[in-house]
Amino acid sequence: AQTVTQSQPEMSVQEAETVTLSCTYDTSESNYYLFWYKQPPSRQMILVIRQEAYKQQNATENRFSVNFQKAAKSFSLKISDSQLGDTAMYFCAFMEVLYGQNFVFGPGTRLSVLP
């Protein structure tokens, strides 16, 4: 079974600083997708960024970027110029293409951006 691990239950960062959230996963498959989702206190899950495993280039979305290390099965999220609105739970998620679209989520990292 696939597993996703997020080793940092809680993190904090000063506004305008940069923070990196860690994620590791375990799979024997080669064709999969990785995601970072954000869940603010309002509780609606919002997609932050997506990475296809077959793409070497790391995904970037504005202030959010990933460091995807396929051999190490590592998928970290870097948030640059942190803003107060980035305060939320962040979940790393894994999806195997072969078995459809059910996601396996990690336990989450609670990020607090401090003024």
Partner 1 sequence: DAGVTQSPTHLIKTRGQQVTLRCSPKSGHDTVSWYQQALGQGPQFIFQYYEEEERQRGNFPDRFSGHQFPNYSSELNVNALLLGDSALYLCASSTGQGVYEQYFGPGTRLTVT
Q: Is 106 in the site for partner 1 (CB under 8 A)?
A: yes
Q: Half-sphere exposure of 55 toward its Cβ, with a 13 Å CA cutoff?
A: 11
Judged by CB under 8 A, how many residues of this single chain contact partner 1?
24
* Cβ nearer to partner 1, comparing 47 with 114: 47
Tell me whether strands 24-26 and 3-5 are parallel, antiparallel or unpaired. Answer: antiparallel
- Binding positions for partner 1, 27-86, rule CB under 8 A: 33, 35, 37, 42-47, 50
Report the residue from 25, 82, 91, 111 that binds partner 1 according to the rule CB under 8 A: 91
Q: Coil, strand or helix: which one is 21?
A: strand
By CB under 8 A, tell whether 103 contacts partner 1. Answer: yes
- Going 30 to 68 to 22 to 89, the CA torsion angle's sign is negative
Cβ proximity to partner 1, 98 vs 115, nearer residue: 98
Closest CA to 40 of 4, 91, 6: 91
The residues that touch partner 1, with contacts defined as CB under 8 A, are: 4, 33, 35, 37, 42-47, 50, 91, 95, 97, 99-108
